[in-house]
Structure 1
Amino acid sequence: MARAMMFFSSFFFSLLLSIHSYAMIISSPGRSSSSNGAGDELALLSFKSTLPSALQLASWNTSGHYCSWPGVACGSRHLQRVVSLRLGSFNLSGHVSPFLGNLSFLRELDLGDNQLVGQIPPELGRLVRLQVLNLSYNQLQGEIPAEIGISLKNLVYLNLGQNSLSGEIPPSLSELPLMEQLTLYYNRLSGEIPPALSNLTNLRVLHLDFNMLSGAIPSSFGLLPSLSRLTLGGNNLSGTIPDSFWNISSLTSYSVQQNMLNGTMPPDAFSNLPNLQSMFMDHNFFHGPIPRSIANASELWIVQLGSNSFSGIVPPEIGRLTNLQRLVLLETLLEAKEPKDWEFFTALTNCSQLQFLELGVSRFGGILPDSVSNLSTSLIQLNVNDNTISGSIPDDISNLKNLQYFDLSKNSFTGSLPSSLGNLTELNYMNLESNSFSGRIPSTLGNLGMLELLVLSSNNFAGQVPVELFNSTAVSVDLSYNNLEGSIPQEISNLKGLIEFYAQWNKLSGEIPSTIGECQLLQNLHLQNNILNGTIPSSLGQLQGLENLDLSNNNLSGEIPKLLGNLSMLYYLNLSFNNFVGQVPTFGVFANATAISIQGNDMLCGGTPHMHLPPCSSQLPKNKHTLVVIPIVLSLVATVVALALLYIMLRIRCKKSRTETSSTTSMQGHPLISYSQLVKATDGFSSTNLLGSGAFGSVYRGELDGQSSESANLVAVKVLKLQNPGALKSFTAECEALRNLRHRNLVKIVTACSSIDTRGNDFRAIVFEFMPNGSLEGWLHPDANEETEQRNLNILERVTILLDVAYALDYLHCHGPAPVVHCDIKSSNVLLDADMVAHVGDFGLARILVEGNSFLQESSSSIGFRGTIGYAAPEYGAGNTSSTHGDIYSYGMLVLETVTGERPTDSKFMHGLREYVELGMHDGVADIVDTRLSLGLHTDTAADGSSHKGRTDFLVSLLRLGLSCSQEMPSNRMSTGDIIKELSAIRQSLL
């Protein structure tokens, strides 16, 4: 109704204007009816009438001549007809009025940077004199009118960017002979790029980036003789870059980033691009070497090739690009092993204007050259993170006096930090985590007054925390997982803007400084696993923004301050394994069972019922029944102590990481079990009960006494081979990962045993629910002496098992207490219960991830190479951080194995199982799928009567799913949600 009223109101107003203008034309002697000047005025007033609020057009009225109105320009030859309407950034809202089509002498129409909505009126096609049309930065929708290309033959500049336009690019736009700049970026345009755009022989600028365009880049673009800037990034383009593209000598800038393009750059790619200044090819599937001919594009100042599969060494010729300011080669397969491979780095010292050098997440190794100190003094950002680079930081690093961003994390650097780092006074980000730096933290870091983020975690730093460290403006400081000693300086209060402070897993002692309460913006405080003593300072109650507080595994004592319950933002509090006494508060965070952990404090009482603490003395009834209660309390305390001891044994020697998981619940709820019980259950770990053996342990079938049913007696006992490196880490990782996980498709842990054997040696074992149908590996690859018919899985069973595994991964990655990366998804770790329901097991390599404000942080287990060769993601081979993307790759290989019946580890595949499947699918799937599934695919029907085509379609879908999950670039792999959706559809069709 409101829209109808607005329409009739606008119509009525326009009608009145028409009558008024007509009356003026026939009655005013000063205005000729042939001039049509009044028609221009009427068109402008009609346009204004469609705008709900146009304060800047308030002076548009008949009291003044329209040629003097803001934004209006008139010509002098044709009786002052409107030739230009420049209303950009006028804060206009409403629709683009079709009345503008009546300004027949208009040459320029600029309505950019407003809040205009609706569609582009096709009436604009009547502006045949129009040369410039700018409707960018609005909220326009619908398709681009074909009339623009059909009628506006004088158009030189067309900018419709930054709207919500949809549909395809009209082919008629290729019929604008004078067009020099065509900008359609940041819309929702789809379809292919019209090859006919190459007819625009005057075209200098073509911006089509960040739409939903698909298909190939037209090879005809190489025929555009004047093309200077071409941006096609942020689309769904595929195929290769046409050879003709490399011959556009007029090209100064091009972007094809964030597409699905592949192929290589020819060796002479840059021989005919002398004017090229910037190129953006990142986030695609390009591979092969970087051509040495890049030196011929001597004007280049931006080179972005990251997030591709470029390989080989970086050519030293890149150092001849003397104008180079930005070089981005991160997330590639580029490498350096020998000193000669680093020649490019020394060559870059010739690039005196270099500001950004990004080489992270690649395969650069060996020793970082000392020439790093001779890079441009203009350098702002240097990151070589996630490589295998060794050596030390040169003392002359202070030459890079303008450096603001410095990231050497996740490498193999050694030695102490040079005090000269303190001379990099412009630094606001320094990340040196996960290396092998040692010695003391230089006090000169206190000179970094601009520093906002400092990460020194997971190294071997020793000594005290320098007081000077708190002279900066840091908002995040991470000193965790080192060997730091002494107390936390009182000067921490100087960091008024501190948001995160991590100092867990050190040897810090003394009391928590009360001055920390002055860090009013603090959100995350992690001090667990130190030897801090004293009480919790009441000043922590001042931190109203505190969200995470972990003080577990220290020697803290006294009562728990009730003030902590008043912190409304606090959603995680861990006070476990200290010496706290007295009554536990019952309000605020203390009332949330999942938000607080207090176990291992034997003298606590009260609290909420979920804490299962004994009542405090003030709560006990004062009568003869008190004597009856005391034994019960003592029994409860004894139980808590026993559980605490078990938890300590499980947590001891846990591998350090940047932060801990947000849940530290012990094995509470699992029965205690002794070494002797396990000996009895497995008949002395008899070989007849051996189910399998791996690098870190052997698994035995066992039968426990005292269970209520026969089925409950059967267990699988994983005995760790503690003599093997990494076995203890595997044990702690598996306990850490499994203690809070509960899901139908995860192997259930019954209990754990941490004890000594009869010879006095350490003994570790984990007891799992027994899986009577063994592993998926046993079904896909049965032993030769087994009956194949009895170990066969039909297509529905295989899809169901894959769906079960997908559900497990979805829970681990997205829905558990904390995100968990399994790191070893393979067929031998997929176990089948009596009902053939799949359960994911063996979490010995798992990592728990905790999302902080800025980082995705790893758990405490770190055992070198993650996973099993053949299943492990390619980025793990480069030493990259474990991620959920890595699990998806392994899952993709599991899918391919399940469908083909071939092991990813089989040496007969020269280039791997994935490439074998890719090549085989070109010739049909019958020859590459498991022979037990392919029966009947060479004929019209299968043995069970199902159609050949139907079964083939399902198998093709599964193989494509496996290929999609195992793509080389992590960001291109499917999500667990999409996997579940696709497999569910396949399974439903099979039912």
Structure 2
Amino acid sequence: MNGLDNHLTGSIPSGIGNLTSLFTLRLLQNNLRGSIPNELGQLTRLGYFQLAWQLPPNVGVILPALEVFAGGVNYFTGPIPVSLSNASGLQILDFAINGLTGGIPKNLGSLKSLLKIVNRFSGSIPSALGNLTRLATLFLEENRFGGNIPSSLRNCKRLQNLNLSSNNLNGTIPKEVLGLSSLSISLVMSNNYLTGSLSLEVGKLQNLMQLDISGNRLSGTIPSTLGSCVSLERLHLERNNFEGPIPESFKTLRGLEELDLSENNLTGRVPGFLAGFSALNLNRTIFLYFNNLEGEVSRDGIFANASAFSVVGNDKLCGGIPELHLPTCSRKKPRETLFFKIVIPATIVAVFISVLLISLSIFYIRRKLPRNSNTPSPDEQQVVDSYLDLVKSTNGFAAENLIGYGSFGSVYKGILFGEGRIVAIKIINLLQKGASKSFIDECNALRSSKHRNLLKIITVCSSVDHQGNDFKGLVFEFMSNGNLDQWLHPASEEQFRTRKLSFTQRLNIAFDVASALDYLHHHCETTIVHCDLKPSNVLLDDDMTAHVGDFGLAKLLSEASRSLSINPAISATLKGSIGYIPPGMGLDLTNRLELLIATFIPKSELLLHSFLLNSLKHFSVHYNSSASFIFVPGLELQMHLSQNDSILPLAEYGMTGEVSVLGDVYSYGILLLEMFTGKRPTDDMFKGDVNIHKFADMAFSANVMAIIDPSMLAEEVIYENEITEHGIEERAIIHNNDFQANRTSNIKECLVSVMEIGLSSSRQICLETDGDEHSC
């Protein structure tokens, strides 16, 4: 009986129960009202029932002979009636698109053929579905199922079509499900929260046409057994964490029409056999974008048409058709002579043995040495996979997260995805001339240096943005107390305006910066010249410990350049910031060497200079509970001067392009004068022949207290009182019995010494054309 779309009205008459031989009843798309009459239960032979109605809870009881129930697109609500399990002959249950809620009854084990459910079901997928041994199609997509995929589905030996996509499923994909060789149409588990690796059992799906496990959290390598799935037409593994190369076994998948491996961590080369897949259409059917692939991209086959594939976001790829805008590959002709076939393997073996012996020696030596506390542990290492990670961490580079500017870009505050760690992210402005080179220089400098007073880099990102343009960024440890410039010269709206640096804090910061410079100049494998030392590049952490940052202009000097008696020319462009760049003058080191001894020495060496020993005996500078340093002059500037070396050009990373460590010493001297006078070297008061050096020199040494920043002495009292009130044992100032009486005198003596260091470091000595020297 077919009443489909007949505009029937009223209710179903009770006399329908007299049609005892009725097998099919279709009442869809009508305007019937009322309830389903109980007389419907007299239709003991009814096998096909299709209607648009509220489901009666006893539908399985009144229709025990029901074989097919097709709800189609209806307005069913509430749970699936448990009584359906009484319809022991039920073979097809199709709810299609309805409004049913709740879970699937666990007693539907008598269902023998087909189950289609696309609703808003929740809970877990019942393991009892494994009893449906004749089940051919199971559609549970776009529901709210959670928990694991039941391994009992392995009992559904006739299952051909399984779709569990767009749920909240977690855990691993059961290898028992992947081993269902009966799956021949599709296996779709996309957009869930599945984890773990893809089992080798997937190779048993030799008759499967579609495999889609995209949008999960799967990891590990792509199993080579996928090459056994020779019937595959659509393979989607995108948006996971797969790594390693694209399996060579994929060459057997000649029937592929869609291949999407994008947004993973795949490495290695783009296989050449992909170009020969003749079955691939030309509508961007190969997606390999945002991986870590490298090498040359083919120009043949599918790769001859830019609209048929995408490899964007793989920075190490080269070649390919011009539309890809990839760099040209370097060509090397292999030499396949018998000589190289013999020599090369023998050389490799010899080198391996040598490296092994050297490694064992280094390992033994390092065990004898103390570990560098600044080397990050594995738990501290972070990996930023792509541009998208930085976008998420900064909320789309929102203006409220902009915290400053570097030499070649902007700096944002961000939160690393997955850990919640606050970081500073420097985004390089690649439109600025020299920005790309600056990025490389900064990476080289930071890679070569690790020290407690250097800003620690967490990771770098070299990728492409959403428009396909090059993108480069660096992720640093976040410094909660900003930079030194904000403390010395706070703007009206800045928090630093309400608090100034005390005298002791400035000594601590001065020592930190000197320790960083000493490390860069003398204790790195390759000497590093910072070239842009200024207050805004000195960052302060929670404990007000200073960290030197922004190495965008830094230069690495060769071993030959370590000797300050030579003059290495590095660059002919302006390096550094106005006011802190050393002038292009000469310096007589034979007669003026003491004038350049202008920083501090770690307490471990205890080389106290006599002219500061008395004035500093009352000050011990504390950084933390395990490290104490004494503020003294005398940077060990390993100057290897011969008898004939009398004139050395001063570290001119200014206009002349000459780079040496003395340039940083000059900038450090200017930094000291600024820290203790509170005056910028670019202040409006410094005009004509008057600069910050001459300003301090004219007051030295009798009137030094008249030019210092008065706020630091007031803050010194506050700082001392705070320590006393909190009962901290590690005092920033060590009192003796008559400290209060001698306090001002001691501070003045120390300030005179500090100012002498600043003046000595930044002093300019000029040579007349006749060879006579004079002060500039």
**TM-score, reference length from structure 1:** 0.33
Bigger RCO of structures 1 and 2 (CA < 8 A, at least 6 apart):
2
Bigger Rg, structure 1 or 2: 2
